[in-house]
Structure 1
Amino acid sequence: MELEFDGRVWEWRGPAPYHFVSVPEDECEEIALTASAVTYGWGMIPVAVAIGETRWTTSLWPKDGGYVVPLKDAVRRAEAITLDDIVSVRLTIDV
């Protein structure tokens, strides 16, 4: 399954601050159709992600009935991404 969407970068300020992009509702519905076949626990969904020229693997995190894409600092540096930027995200989920 391949999905593409734009989203705003936001920060979670917990004990370990992290940056995320929320997956839009329509795409979350598509992911939910295959989630049980690919999750490895706690609702985490393994994905390949691409933003700009940077590609990496991670897991979608469940949040408030949807999913969020975590952005590593190395990815944000490589693509010059800052808080509140709108980024184009490409996700690949192996089903």
Structure 2
Amino acid sequence: MEVVFEAEPWLWAARKTESWTFVSLPVDASAEIRERAGGLSRGFGSLRVRATIGGSSWRTSIFPDSGRQAYVLPVKRAIRTAESLEVGNVAAVAVEVVDL
């Protein structure tokens, strides 16, 4: 299953000195992924994916976020740098769920 969408990166402060950057998958696509996964998940409820933003592709995992009712995709610094992506920008994102 592949989901293509636009999203704005946001920060999650994991600790006082550490933050992570994510994009949220659309709520409706997240519901479909949950349904198709049928309880299949890895640590922290994650599912393996191949993600693409701009010309950059990488393998990672998406994680359920009950507060957003959606899966969230971590976007590592190397990708953000390569794509000149900052919080507040909007990015075209493609996520292919590998575990389904």
TM-score of the aligned structures, taking structure 1 as reference length: 0.91
The question of whether the paired residues in 2 share the 8 Å contact of 1:7 and 1:87 is answered with: yes
Match of 2:37 among 35, 38, 54: 35
Distance 1:81 1:38 in 2: 31
Q: Which runs of 5+ in 1 are unaligned?
A: none
Identify the range of structure 1 (35-44 vs 60-69) with the bigger mean alpha-carbon deviation: 35-44
Cα pair distance change 1:6/1:59, threshold 3 Å? same
Match of 2:91 in 1: 87
How many corresponding residue pairs?
A: 95
Distance 1:38 1:49 in 2: 19
Distance 1:77 1:38 in 2: 33
Residue identity in the other structure for 2:14: G
Match of 1:69 in 2: 73
Task: State the Cα RMSD in Å.
Answer: 1.3
SS of residue paired to 1:14: strand
TM-score of the aligned structures, taking structure 2 as reference length: 0.87
Distance 2:38 2:89 in 1: 32
Distance 1:63 1:37 in 2: 15
SS of residue paired to 2:28: helix
Which stretches of structure 1, 4 residues or more, deviate above 3 A after TM superposition?
none
Give the share of equivalent positions with the same residue, in percent: 33
